[in-house]
Amino acid sequence: MSADEHIPVLLQPTVDALLHTPDGLYLDCTFGRGGHSRALLEKLSAKGQLVALDRDPQAVQAMGEIKDSRFRGVRSAFADLESALDLLGIDQVDGVLMDIGVSSPQIDQAERGFSFRRDGPLDMRMDPQAGESAADFLARAEAREIKEVIKNYGEERFAVQIATAIVARRAERPITTTLDLAQIVAGAVRTREPGQDPATRTFQALRIHVNQELAQLEQGLTAAFKRLKVGGRLAVISFHSLEDRITKQFIEKLANPKSQQDARLRKLPLPEPTPLMRKLDRIKPSKEECELNPRSRSSVLRVAEKLAEWPAGSSVGGNAWGA
């Protein structure tokens, strides 16, 4: 697969689940190279509309290749989707798609610094013009902070050893390239699952940290719910257990609000809290898709439907509604 190629994951199941009315207005929060957006446009009617967001400048450039009056693209992180919709004068939408994580072109381009298999600058930022690069983080962070990032975001059992090796190495010379880091990690990781590179979990953890991906997802889910119409659908594709867990818990909290209440409140003769979402589906890629696109193997699609607005005066995580 070349740097310019990208196979959208769970393409048909996502389009089928998300697009419940062809005349609707939909939001693709993670345009990438436009695979899902193009498939949605094919299914939309002449009255339908699609807005796409992405913070990667190369993805934004790719948006310009779509010459369709029903399509509008905006450079924005999906956590800021409300601001993007406000900019376009849009209040609510019929469906929201989030394809979480890094895209194939980002991995395959050495200069982006995402891959431990290609030597390049240790960057990892989805927006190269914003925030701190992975190299900058490793240059200034204490061993404890590096360990916590690798342990929490990479679920790496050798996080202490890796952090210690990184700090020891940077005392000799800066860690500036992907292969520099991959070699340090390889020397610190004693064993690894068959077929998995020793650096896999560390690179994943640093990417998630540098781009604040979990916080972005939490903010994006909340914003997506607010901007969905009642009856609208949310579709989220995750590749990592932490991302999928956040999505699952968010949907569960809205679909089953009573389960989120304090145990003491559940015993009182109070009105049943109104479910705000309905879980529709959880889809994994088929065997055929995994063979065609090995990067799809860890993906999972969760789909939910909005049933009602938040009660006045409450918010996600707020006590007013038992969340």
Annotated binding site for S-adenosyl-L-methionine: 34-36, 54, 78, 99, 106
Scanning the structure block, which residue is given the tokens 């050495």? 110
86's tokens: 């406000």
- Cβ-defined contacts of 45-52 (< 8 Å, 24+): 46/70, 47/22, 47/23, 48/22, 48/23, 48/24, 49/24, 49/25, 50/25, 50/26, 51/25, 51/26, 51/27, 51/84, 51/85, 51/88, 51/90, 51/93, 52/27, 52/28
Question: Residue 7's closest CA among 26, 34, 44, 28?
Answer: 34
Give the H/E segment covering residue 27.
strand 25-28
Please give the DSSP secondary-structure letter assigned to residue 254. Answer: H
| Mutual angle of helices 11-18 and 35-43, in 10-degree steps | 50
> Which spans in the chain are helix H?
11-18, 35-43, 57-63, 81-87, 104-108, 134-140, 143-154, 159-170, 178-188, 200-210, 213-227, 241-255, 263-266, 287-292
- Give me Rg for the CA atoms of the chain: 21
Euclidean distance between CA atoms 203 and 193, whole angstroms: 16
Q: Are 306 and 277 in contact (CB under 8 A)?
A: yes
- Known binding residues: 34-36, 54, 78, 99, 106
318's tokens: 């707020």
Euclidean distance between CA atoms 316 and 210, whole angstroms: 25
- Residue 290 has phi, psi (to 5 degrees) of -65, -35
